[in-house]
Every structure is written in C-alpha cells, then in structure tokens.
C-alpha cells in the first residue's frame, strides 16, 4: 500500500533521545524537519519520534522536565 506524501522536508536532522527516559534498547531519536505541505505550500516545523529507523507515527514526542 503506497501513501501519498503530504509533507516535503527541505531540511532534516536527527537528534538522539535521552536513554534514561526511553531506555537504552529502544534506539529512540527525534527527527526534526522544516519543509512545506503539498496542498497549500504552508511552511511547517515538524518533530517526529524515530525508533529503530522507523517513524513512530502514532507516538507524539514529549518533553520531560
């Protein structure tokens, strides 16, 4: 099943997550992207969680203080 892309990143970087919060074995990273949406060309700043090389689409990043 192919999915149509809605967001096109212009620049993307990965940042390692704190292993104390997510555990050492999960290999969690944050994918931080800046780009635009295809339908209306709005600029978007997007943060996603990545685990073992795959975007965790149903898991939202959170801030722990």
pLDDT in tens, the chain (65 residues): 456 778 889 999 999 887 666 666 667 888 999 998 888 778 889 888 888 888 877 766 665 54
Distance CA 63, CA 10 (A): 25
Task: Output the CA torsion 48→11→26→64 (10° steps).
Answer: -50
Say if residue 28 is exposed, middle or buried (CB neighbours under 10 Å; 0-12, 13-18, 19+): buried
pTM for the model:
0.69
For residue 14, which phi and psi values (nearest 5 degrees)? -115, 140
């Amino acid at each position: 099943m192919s999915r149509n892309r809605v967001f096109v990143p212009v620049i993307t970087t990965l940042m390692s997550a704190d292993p104390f919060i997510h555990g050492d074995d999960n290999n969690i990273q944050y994918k931080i992207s800046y780009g635009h949406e295809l339908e209306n060309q709005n600029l978007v700043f997007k943060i996603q969680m990545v685990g073992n090389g795959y975007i965790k689409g149903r898991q939202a990043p959170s801030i722990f203080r």
